[in-house]
Amino acid sequence: MLHIVFETANIHALKNAMELDESLQGDVWEIKDDFMVGPLGDIYGAEGYQARRDWWKQVLEFSPYSDQLDIVDDKLTVHNLLKKLDEEPELIVWIWMGQNAHDVCGYYWLMSQLKEYQGRVEVLYMNNLPFINEKGNIFYPAHLHQIPPKEFLKAKRLARPITLSEFEVDPDEWKKTCQDPSPVRFLEGGKKLVGREIDFFDKEILAHITKEQQKLTRVLSNALAKMKVQTGDTFLVWRMRELQLAGKLVINGDWSKGWKELTILPAGAGTETENTLTSDAAN
């Protein structure tokens, strides 16, 4: 068995569950790109792939992950997956999805390339399903890593083969999503994605900007903790940079020294140092 997940934290959650249930044993592979945000036009073609890489390069600039652009290669992961499926006829693939746009977009992107392996690819979708948390209370997890290891024993019963009908319909839905120029995807329910504007998360950021100077990392962690719909930290920090350029907030400090060295104030409450985004705005 081979497991596919869409968040690094999910790898650790699954491996912890494997320690409790040997039937879950298998390699865990991750699709790393966050297809919830950014351009998707011609996503499987050379031009679309390069356009997306260029966009991510801009977003990852000044982040702790700027060196990961050339490391992350989901196309190679899929190539290796197809090769493994061909070489191991008995191999079954489980695709794990939490109820969030990040996982659902990753599912669509991946499964659209696996049609010829119908019957050997199964999906486990935690779609509006109740689980028991560490305190014994019922909750509805949006992400796999929120599920306690022992609850994965219940989750595994959700595994079912992706049907031939789904292999016909779901790639068409994904194609429509990719043709929508909206740069953010939002999950309305089930597997239904709708487009949103690039400023979709800006209100979540601005809600945590106070009159007193705060560390950028504190604003980021507070926003992520309160957001009902989450996205990645790099995307949010990139939006902070864009909000600064738009004059909606002030970021003080030297970006080259990392996020921890930066502070944030509301627009008009402080003066940017010469090492902020002034040089970026000119580029």
Residue type, 143: H
Condensed to tens digits (0 to 9), the pLDDT of residues 26-81 reads: 999 999 999 999 999 999 999 999 999 999 999 999 999 888 887 779 999 999 99
In a domain, 35, yes or no: yes
- Looking at residue 273, its pLDDT comes to 44
In a domain, 141, yes or no: yes
In a domain, 75, yes or no: yes
- Looking at residue 169, its pLDDT comes to 97
pLDDT at 16 over 70: yes
Q: How many domains does the chain divide into?
A: 2
- Report the CATH number that the domain containing residue 206 is assigned in CATH: 1.10.10
166 and 111 belong to one structural domain: yes
Give yes or no for a contact between 37 and 196, defined as CB atoms under 8 angstroms apart. no
- Which stretch of 78-82, 117-121, 144-148, 161-165 has the lowest confidence by average pLDDT? 144-148
Q: In angstroms, rounded to a whole number, what is the distance separating the alpha carbons of residues 57 and 151?
A: 38
145 and 267 belong to one structural domain: no
Mention every residue, 6+ apart, whose C-beta is less than 8 A from residue 281. Answer: 245
pTM for this prediction: 0.91
38 and 165 belong to one structural domain: yes
Closest CA to 38 of 21, 54, 23: 54
Other C-beta atoms lying within 10 Å of the C-beta of residue 262? 24
Which residues constitute the domain of residue 233?
202-282
pLDDT at 253 over 70: yes
Other C-beta atoms lying within 10 Å of the C-beta of residue 154? 13
173 and 206 belong to one structural domain: no
Q: In angstroms, rounded to a whole number, what is the distance separating the alpha carbons of residues 262 and 149?
A: 37
Other C-beta atoms lying within 10 Å of the C-beta of residue 10? 23
14 and 89 belong to one structural domain: yes
In a domain, 128, yes or no: yes
Q: What mean pLDDT do residues 171-194 have?
A: 96
- Looking at residue 280, its pLDDT comes to 47
- Looking at residue 271, its pLDDT comes to 54
99 and 233 belong to one structural domain: no
In a domain, 240, yes or no: yes
- Report the CATH number that the domain containing residue 152 is assigned in CATH: 3.40.1360.10
144 and 55 belong to one structural domain: yes
168 and 211 belong to one structural domain: no
Q: What mean pLDDT do residues 116-126 have?
A: 97
In a domain, 190, yes or no: no
206 and 172 belong to one structural domain: no
39 and 166 belong to one structural domain: yes
3-state secondary structure of 215: strand
38 and 142 belong to one structural domain: yes
In a domain, 236, yes or no: yes
In a domain, 237, yes or no: yes
Condensed to tens digits (0 to 9), the pLDDT of residues 209-230 reads: 999 999 999 999 999 999 989 8
Q: In angstroms, rounded to a whole number, what is the distance separating the alpha carbons of residues 186 and 36?
A: 8
Q: In angstroms, rounded to a whole number, what is the distance separating the alpha carbons of residues 156 and 125?
A: 10
26 and 93 belong to one structural domain: yes
pLDDT at 265 over 70: yes
Q: What strand order describes the sheet that includes 121-125? A: 27-30, 2-5, 93-97, 121-125, 160-161
